[in-house]
Copies of this chain bind each other. A is one copy, B any other.
Amino acid sequence: MATGSSGSKRTPRSRTTPEVFVLRVGHRPGRDPRLTTHLALAARAFGARSMYLHPPDPDLSARIHALAQRWGGTFEVVPVGNWKTVVRTFEGSVVHLTMYGQPLARVLPKIARRRRLLLVVGGAKVPPDLYRLASYNVGVGHQPHSEVAAVAVTLERLLGLPGPGTLPGARQVIVPRARGKRVVRMGRRP
């Protein structure tokens, strides 16, 4: 059984890994709820600290908050009224993920050494200013794909594959199995 105190174990990649945050620009609450939920879940599962969401979507933030209460950790979806302010005031490098950008393989050695990174993904229409405001415009491949895939692969390349283990405060944890499902509830009192 996992110990419940050490956080998720990871395949080691380097001695120091950056703190990574995600910013989703151009969310459409009526149209994108499931897609942006998947983006938030992937950001959380692959080790981002939190996700800034523009425009805000209180329902989505509440759903992710409820999930993090069950599964542990401190990840949350932070509502953002003005995305440019987040980009401009972020203390670290801003990495805009876009299929038009420079290959991730080329940029990775540079950004992996940074202390703090903000990965920015747009929706269907990306504000042109984003290309100019970003420290790097980076393509995770150069074919149309998905912001969920782009964020997950970038996080995995920066932080390694998340392993099994309990996040702080979790009420439940998965015990990996070759067949079937095993979920252990933590600290239940009679």
Contacts and interface: CB of A to CB of B under 8 A. Distances in A.
A101 B149 contact: no
Interface string A42-58: 10111000000000000
Interface stretch (A14-22, A79-87, A111-119, A174-182): A174-182
Interface string A23-39: 00000000110110011
Interface string A150-190: 01110011000111110100000110111111110000000
A149 B100 contact: no
A122 B163 CA distance: 21
Interface residues of A, number: 59
Q: How many copies does the complex hold?
A: 2
A110 to B, nearest CB: 12
B162 A143 contact: yes
Given A45-B143, A143-B45, A153-B152, A101 B176 contact: yes
A174 B99 CA distance: 8
B100 A176 contact: yes
Given A105-B161, A105-B163, A142-B173, 6 more contacts: A34-B35, A35-B38, A100-B181, A103-B163, A139-B164, A153-B153
Interface of A: 8, 11, 31-32, 34-35, 38-39, 41-42, 44-46, 67, 71, 98-105, 128, 131-132, 136-137, 139-146, 148-149, 151-153, 156-157, 161-165, 167, 173-174, 176-183
